[in-house]
Amino acid sequence: MKLTQTVCRFLLFKVMRWKEDVSISHRDKCIICVAPHTSNFDFILAELYYTAIGRHANFLMKKEWFFWPLGLVFRRMGGIAVERGRRNHLTEQLAQLARNASHFELAVTPEGTRSLTDTWKRGFYFIAQKADLPIQLYAIDYSTKTISCHKEIYPSQNVESDMVEIMRYYENFKGRHPERFTIEPIGE
């Protein structure tokens, strides 16, 4: 085991006392959907966890975080700067990259922000759909200090039905700031 992996395992599981509850097999190519996302600390936990289990994933982050010298660090860690509000065909570019790569793990937060929002982003879903990748649903639950993954879906042709399934999976997990997390209104 690499030293970095050992240190991350020690910090996350021994010092911070987080647990792992994952029943889905890791894949060489997938989208990793992570929620709830209510704090900058979620990023630290996710990086510690993924390094602790010996995996590496790229991640999307708003371009404003990529200032010098932090941008160099984020890029080295696998960060991909996203320019919000600008149509730049990022989903198609990432889907093409995924199709051509032998290894492609991309972590995304569907809320797209740490603030309370009642509309989830769908870009991660369209990347998975275009590249024919599974979406693994990872939750960071602060109430139990557990990182969980018990569901994986393959996108169908019905994005809204699949998004309801994804949101329902997350509705009982608690973020660091639970008041900042909600799912979209779902009709019964």
Q: What is the pLDDT of residues 143-162, one digit of tens each?
A: 999 999 999 999 998 999 99
User: Cβ neighbours of residue 2 under 8 Å, at least 6 residues apart?
Assistant: 54
Domain assignment of residue 132, yes or no: yes
Query: Who wins on pLDDT, 55 or 72?
Result: 55
Residue 114: pLDDT band with limits 50, 70, 90: low
Q: What is the pLDDT of residues 123-145, one digit of tens each?
A: 899 999 999 999 999 999 999 99
Q: Is the peptide bond before 36 cis (omega within 30 degrees of 0)?
A: yes
Residue 85: pLDDT band with limits 50, 70, 90: low
Domain assignment of residue 28, yes or no: yes
Domain assignment of residue 58, yes or no: yes
Query: Who wins on pLDDT, 78 or 7?
Result: 7
Domain assignment of residue 186, yes or no: no
Average confidence score pLDDT of the chain: 87
Domain assignment of residue 127, yes or no: yes
Q: What is the pLDDT of residues 12-37, one digit of tens each?
A: 999 999 999 999 999 999 999 999 99
Domain assignment of residue 185, yes or no: no
**Total number of domains in the chain:** 1
Q: How many CB atoms are located within 10 Å of the residue 174 CB? A: 15
Query: Who wins on pLDDT, 72 or 121?
Result: 121
Domain assignment of residue 79, yes or no: yes
Q: Which of these, 91, 86, 164, 89, lies nearest to 130 by C-alpha position?
A: 91
Give the residue numbers spanning the domain of 170: 3-180
